[in-house]
Structure 1
Amino acid sequence: MKTKLIICGLFCLLAATSVKAADNKVGINLYESGMIGAAKAFFLDNLKQQQEGVLQAETCYYLGECYLVLGLRDSAGIYYQKGIEFMPDYSYNRIGLVGLKLGKDVNGEELFKEVFTSKKDKKDAGVQLAIARAYLYAGNMTKAMEYVNQARELDAKSGLPYLVEGDILAVQGKVGEACAKYEMAAYFSPDCVGAYLKQARLYMSANRFLSLEKLDKAREESPEFCGIYCILGELYEMAGDSKAAADNYSKFIQSGYYDQDHLLRYAGILYFDKQYEKMLPVLQSVLKEKPEDLVAKRLYAYCLSKRENGEKCLEAIKHFIESTPEESQICQDYLCYAEQLTVKKEYNEAITYYKKALNADCKRQELLKDIADLFVKNRDLDSAVVYYQQYFDFEEKPAAEDLLKLGKCYYNLACQDSVPELQKEELIKADSLFKELSFQVPNSYVSYFWRARVSSMLDPETTKGLAKPYYEKVIEIGLVQPERYKRELIECYKYLGYYHYVIADAITTKNNGNPDLAKEEYGEAKSFFSKVLTLDAKDEVALKALESIKL
């Protein structure tokens, strides 16, 4: 029931907006901004509301233009013809029909002469620009520019000829020149928001700051124009700011003027902003119209895998993987599945799909670490070390957390190995990593604690006291918050107590069993074991040690 209400709320927005729609200003702004899908949605809806012939004819012309740009020439022709039926004297639709006939062997000039219904048309800059666009869409840039120049001669104060000229240059890949013409369009016609938005889109990849500046100017001129928030959403999406992307794109969607591609993009933005509840009805709407759309099906599986609980999470993405041809699967599909398998502690399968993800996108070298982590969970330390090392080869300066992980792997391998040479090699590698960790986080006890453990294994008889300076450093740091570091402090005190006991015992043995010369060392041992009892009064090791020290 809740989902139905969300869907209803989302798609009532269009109806609510339509009541206010009468003229075509918003739709024309969308069209001039290059937002063809949104413009088409506007004009389709607005046509239902209009009664005046001239407005209906204008709406049909722009619908024809939208369908032409979208490659739907038959639909374009239908609306141009319908516009002529609404108002035969409206020349723009006749221009549109001629535009559909343009080609290499067609004399467009003769055909265009026939469309003018009055002498005024020949002196109308807008009519000249309509012909320029017809040539532009037919791929004849030379003729398109001829009519842009004629329009400019007829209305030297309008920015629209510069807008169309910018479109011509943009199609030719002349981005800098196109932006300059859009700038001129905005100069002569400050209310031409399409000029700002087209600049913003062209600058989006190369200069986001400049793109944002153009959008801010558009917002100053037309703060309510929905197209601004669409491109703002895309800009923030590209910048990785999912919250700002979702906030702005939501404002665009709330206008009601969107197509299925916009909804699909919106769903993707909501996914990365973790708004799964809001995302689901959007995807359900898209799938209702396009049930076989691969991107929609993919996002739907992602959404369910995040939103549902228990087995449903895993089943959603599993179904998508199994029902989608392998050649159509992407890195993120495998990642989503691997993550859900990890949650279910199916580590072997998860590793398989992490590897598939890495194969699908070899640039995602950070996945090596995820694979290594899973091998640790699966208690396969040899494999874990291999993948951590591969990750370290990729990451020049590994994070402290990763140094600790690999160091612990080597330490635990050493604990398992019985071959002294191999064990020593692993301990030295572990110590090297913990040492590097101490440089990165010198105020943390962690590196010293693990170096102490490594040194203790390298000195199994505890006669050299290799771990002593590291345990002492842990105590220095840990005493600031003894309750928090209780476990670590107990281990430190036990080691130091035992170390001094070993020294004392050696002195006693050297002196024919006379403990008198070892009193100081026995005293140190008792002191440390007593400190253990201040943290845990029932510690059996400390109690037995104190009992064995008679002095």
Structure 2
Amino acid sequence: MSSYDRAIAANPNYTEAYLKKGILSVRSRNGTTAKESLDKAIAVDPKYAPAYKELAEMYYSAGQYDKAVSTFQQYTDMAEKSPKTDAEYASFLYLSKKYPESLVEVNKVLAAEPNNFTMNRLKAFDLYETGDYNGALAAMDNFLKIAPPEKILPEDNAYRSKILVKTGKGSDAIDVMQKSIASITDPAKKNEALHELATTYNSQKQYANAIRTYKQIMATPYGDLSDQFRLGAAYSGNKQYAQADSVYNIITTAKPTYAPAYQARAQANFNLDPDSKKGLAKPYYEKYIELTSADPTKYKNGLIEANNYLGYYNLQAGRKAEATPYYEKVLALDPTNSDAIGAMKIIKGVPARNSTVKKTTTTTVKKK
């Protein structure tokens, strides 16, 4: 850095020195200084393409994706037109989650270089992200034909697995991920692959295998409360509601204000007490309401679920007065809610079947 400073002192218009200072600052994670140096390079020569490229990559690293893409577009406008430049832009658009735009650039490169394995990889990724799963499968098969075996990445297998699930080939997806995990040595990459495998198991309703995989994740340094939540959901999917409740208890203890965990715990306890006689879900739905009532728009569905449960819990025990406020809250959120409408008819003495209210209430909770 000192050498570049001396070079700039000798020649204040030395654009490459400003560029190199910017690169060094990016590497040392000094974004402010990096931008200052790159901006100076551009001020000296507004058509100095490399500075735009570095500036775009800096924006991307900072999560400023719109600035990153627009700045990289400036770079491509100035840089020499070539498949390499188009490939860089395609990759940049993909990383910035601009998948349709990335696909356009990918196809430009493949028109000139049909065997460019990186662009064939990106084509499969982009097609998946834009919802063309059959096209993604064909693109992935083509990529695997031309890519050298040593160039296959864990991310390739993860995408291939997701594509296979979307095209109705779940068992093949699981086989792909199992073989991939066995070959991964990097702990972080293995963790990512295990998450993909667990997600695939869940998509195939193989909850016991998902539980085993989440436990494997939790035994590593990478396991966190998000994984605990997923483990709880897998237990619920496998109808192991007591185990799910225990897992959600870990989360509510660690994060007492995390509302979704109370809702999930209430659902698990509802399934342990499906006729609601014991009211096992009651304290958790009450806590959920306490935590979310200030933002009824965001938590509308959960509040309808919680108030419906608490209304029914009181109604089936004959406590019509206690049930009424809960159903009124449901109707305030959703005036067409059939559970609350039926319950209010019962409360007001209009002929209605208790079984109808109970059935729709329990179904609503189980679906969540």
Q: TM-score, normalised by structure 1?
A: 0.51
- Alignment-derived partner of residue 253 in structure 1: 76
Counterparts in 2 of 1:193 and 1:529: CA distance versus 1, 3 Å: closer
| One-letter amino acid matched to 1:313 | A
Q: Which residue, out of 29, 38, 42, partners 1:207?
A: 29
Give the Å deviation of 1:205.
Answer: 2.0
| One-letter amino acid matched to 1:383 | N
| One-letter amino acid matched to 1:398 | L
Instruction: Return the alpha-carbon distance in structure 2 between the equivalents of residues 346 and 354 of structure 1.
Output: 13
Q: Which residue, out of 210, 230, 250, partners 1:436?
A: 250
* Alignment of 1:537 onto 2:355: no
- Alignment-derived partner of residue 368 in structure 1: 194
Counterparts of 1:321-332 in structure 2, within 5 Å, are 321-332=144-155
Give the Å deviation of 1:282.
Answer: 3.6
Is the CA contact 1:490–1:535 (under 8 Å) kept in the aligned structure 2?
A: yes
Instruction: Return the alpha-carbon distance in structure 2 between the equivalents of residues 467 and 256 of structure 1.
Output: 63
Instruction: Return the alpha-carbon distance in structure 1 between the equivalents of residues 103 and 326 of structure 2.
Output: 58
Q: Deviations over 1:195-222 (max 9, x none)?
A: 1112223443223423323212212322
- Alignment-derived partner of residue 405 in structure 1: 230
Is the CA contact 1:236–1:244 (under 8 Å) kept in the aligned structure 2?
A: yes
Is the CA contact 2:121–2:139 (under 8 Å) kept in the aligned structure 1?
A: no
Q: Deviations over 1:467-515 (max 9, x none)?
A: 44335445666877597433433333333445x4xxxxxxxxxxxxxxx
Instruction: Return the alpha-carbon distance in structure 1 between the equivalents of residues 52 and 357 of structure 2.
Output: 73
Q: Deviations over 1:299-343 (max 9, x none)?
A: 334344445735223222232224434333112222222232233
Counterparts in 2 of 1:337 and 1:181: CA distance versus 1, 3 Å: same
* Alignment of 1:335 onto 2:155: no
* Alignment of 1:492 onto 2:314: no
Instruction: Return the alpha-carbon distance in structure 1 between the equivalents of residues 261 and 158 of structure 2.
Output: 32
Instruction: Return the alpha-carbon distance in structure 1 between the equivalents of residues 274 and 192 of structure 2.
Output: 37
Instruction: Return the alpha-carbon distance in structure 1 between the equivalents of residues 172 and 144 of structure 2.
Output: 13
- Percentage of identical aligned residues: 24
- Alignment-derived partner of residue 10 in structure 2: 188
| Secondary structure in 2 matching 1:442 | coil
Give the Å deviation of 1:232.
Answer: 1.5
Instruction: Return the alpha-carbon distance in structure 2 between the equivalents of residues 372 and 349 of structure 1.
Output: 14
Instruction: Return the alpha-carbon distance in structure 2 between the equivalents of residues 343 and 301 of structure 1.
Output: 13
| One-letter amino acid matched to 1:318 | D
- Alignment-derived partner of residue 348 in structure 1: 171
Is the CA contact 2:308–2:339 (under 8 Å) kept in the aligned structure 1?
A: no
| One-letter amino acid matched to 1:368 | L
Is the CA contact 1:459–1:466 (under 8 Å) kept in the aligned structure 2?
A: yes
Give the Å deviation of 1:387.
Answer: 1.4
| One-letter amino acid matched to 1:489 | N
Gap regions ≥5 residues in structure 1: 1-178, 416-425, 501-522, 546-551
| Secondary structure in 1 matching 2:27 | coil
Instruction: Return the alpha-carbon distance in structure 2 between the equivalents of residues 182 and 344 of structure 1.
Output: 55
Is the CA contact 1:407–1:430 (under 8 Å) kept in the aligned structure 2?
A: yes
Q: Deviations over 1:214-264 (max 9, x none)?
A: 212212322342232122223334555443332222112112425543332
* Alignment of 1:377 onto 2:172: no
Instruction: Return the alpha-carbon distance in structure 1 between the equivalents of residues 325 and 43 of structure 2.
Output: 74
Is the CA contact 1:330–1:357 (under 8 Å) kept in the aligned structure 2?
A: no
Counterparts of 1:85-164 in structure 2, within 5 Å, are none
Instruction: Return the alpha-carbon distance in structure 2 between the equivalents of residues 448 and 291 of structure 1.
Output: 53
Residues 450-459 or 329-338, more deviating:
450-459
Instruction: Return the alpha-carbon distance in structure 2 between the equivalents of residues 186 and 192 of structure 1.
Output: 6
- Alignment-derived partner of residue 223 in structure 1: 46
Instruction: Return the alpha-carbon distance in structure 1 between the equivalents of residues 159 and 13 of structure 2.
Output: 46
Instruction: Return the alpha-carbon distance in structure 2 between the equivalents of residues 201 and 476 of structure 1.
Output: 50
Instruction: Return the alpha-carbon distance in structure 2 between the equivalents of residues 478 and 183 of structure 1.
Output: 56
Give the Å deviation of 1:541.
Answer: 3.3
Residues 331-340 or 536-545, more deviating:
536-545
Counterparts in 2 of 1:349 and 1:192: CA distance versus 1, 3 Å: same
Is the CA contact 2:266–2:285 (under 8 Å) kept in the aligned structure 1?
A: yes
| Secondary structure in 1 matching 2:219 | helix
Counterparts of 1:415-494 in structure 2, within 5 Å, are 427=242, 429-439=243-253, 440=255, 442=257, 444=259, 446-455=260-269, 466-474=280-288, 484=301, 485-494=303-312
* Alignment of 1:235 onto 2:48: no
Counterparts in 2 of 1:336 and 1:414: CA distance versus 1, 3 Å: closer
| One-letter amino acid matched to 2:257 | P
Instruction: Return the alpha-carbon distance in structure 2 between the equivalents of residues 475 and 208 of structure 1.
Output: 44
Give the Å deviation of 1:384.
Answer: 0.8
Is the CA contact 2:307–2:326 (under 8 Å) kept in the aligned structure 1?
A: no
- Alignment-derived partner of residue 524 in structure 1: 319
Give the Å deviation of 1:269.
Answer: 0.5
Instruction: Return the alpha-carbon distance in structure 2 between the equivalents of residues 302 and 228 of structure 1.
Output: 29
Instruction: Return the alpha-carbon distance in structure 2 between the equivalents of residues 483 and 282 of structure 1.
Output: 41
Is the CA contact 1:355–1:371 (under 8 Å) kept in the aligned structure 2?
A: yes
Instruction: Name the count of aligned residue pairs.
Output: 330
CA root-mean-square deviation: 3.7
Q: Deviations over 1:434-483 (max 9, x none)?
A: 22333426362x43444345456667897865544335445666877597
Q: Deviations over 1:86-122 (max 9, x none)?
A: xxxxxxxxxxxxxxxxxxxxxxxxxxxxxxxxxxxxx
| One-letter amino acid matched to 1:433 | V
Q: Which residue, out of 279, 290, 294, partners 2:117?
A: 294
Is the CA contact 1:452–1:470 (under 8 Å) kept in the aligned structure 2?
A: yes
Counterparts in 2 of 1:544 and 1:461: CA distance versus 1, 3 Å: closer
Give the Å deviation of 1:189.
Answer: 0.7
| One-letter amino acid matched to 1:405 | R
Is the CA contact 1:392–1:398 (under 8 Å) kept in the aligned structure 2?
A: no
Counterparts in 2 of 1:295 and 1:460: CA distance versus 1, 3 Å: closer
Is the CA contact 1:478–1:489 (under 8 Å) kept in the aligned structure 2?
A: no
| Secondary structure in 1 matching 2:150 | helix
Instruction: Return the alpha-carbon distance in structure 1 between the equivalents of residues 208 and 105 of structure 2.
Output: 46
Is the CA contact 2:127–2:133 (under 8 Å) kept in the aligned structure 1?
A: no
